[in-house]
């Protein structure tokens, strides 16, 4: 909040005090907005990691916590910040949707723990998940891979198997179910 210049010496001092308080409030509000933006990004990260069953970021730390309590103080792997905006960049240099799905039996409890404790979702993220679900995301992803990769790449990298397509759809449904659960409480 900013006030205009005061007309008398006594009120000028008061006006400056209010202006300083207003600047402090604006700074506090700016910091709060930044924290909320970061919270929303971490929400997206949890959803993204849940969908692709990413193991080498937060889930790995949770799994290893049983042997090393200090691991939660370590930085998350495969996570960066864009230098200009300071927004988080999620990296997956493993076989998300493939390797992670094969290891679900071992790690699903950790993925579920994160998702079950999440009740902050960005509307654009949930809207995108609803569109993906309605459009048959798994099949479309597989078709996109087939259309856009060369024969040489398809020779080395496997296409998305039917089982993975099914798991992806189930995981989208599970996230959307968590959103409904949170809206009901």
Q: What pLDDT, in 10s, does the model give residues 101-132?
A: 988 999 999 999 999 999 999 999 999 999 99
End-to-end CA distance of the chain: 35
Q: At what angle do helices 123-134 and 162-184 cross, to 10 degrees?
A: 140
Report the chain (185 residues): mean pLDDT per 10 consecutive residues: 35 39 71 87 92 83 78 73 78 71 91 95 96 90 87 83 92 98 91
CA 155/CA 178 separation, integer angstroms: 38
- Please name which of 147, 129, 124 lies closest in space to residue 52, comparing C-alpha atoms: 129
Are the C-beta atoms of 40 and 122 separated by less than 8 Å? yes
């Amino acid at each position: 909040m900013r006030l205009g210049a005061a007309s008398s010496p006594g009120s000028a001092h008061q006006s400056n005090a209010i202006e300083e308080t207003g600047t402090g409030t604006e700074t506090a509000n700016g910091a709060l907005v930044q924290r909320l933006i970061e919270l929303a990004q971490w929400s997206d990260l949890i959803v993204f990691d849940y969908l692709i069953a990413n193991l080498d970021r937060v889930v790995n730390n949770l799994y290893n916590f049983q042997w090393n309590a200090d691991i939660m103080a370590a930085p998350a792997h495969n996570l960066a910040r864009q230098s200009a905006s300071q927004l988080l960049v999620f990296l997956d240099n493993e076989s998300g949707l493939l390797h992670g799905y094969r290891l679900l039996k071992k790690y699903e409890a950790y993925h579920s723990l994160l998702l079950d404790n999440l009740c902050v979702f960005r509307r654009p993220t949930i809207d995108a998940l609803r569109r993906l679900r309605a459009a048959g995301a798994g099949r479309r992803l597989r078709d996109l891979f087939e259309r856009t990769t060369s024969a040489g790449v398809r020779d080395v990298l496997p296409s998305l198997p039917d089982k993975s397509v099914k798991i992806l759809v189930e995981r989208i449904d599970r996230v959307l179910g968590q959103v409904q659960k949170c809206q009901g409480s």
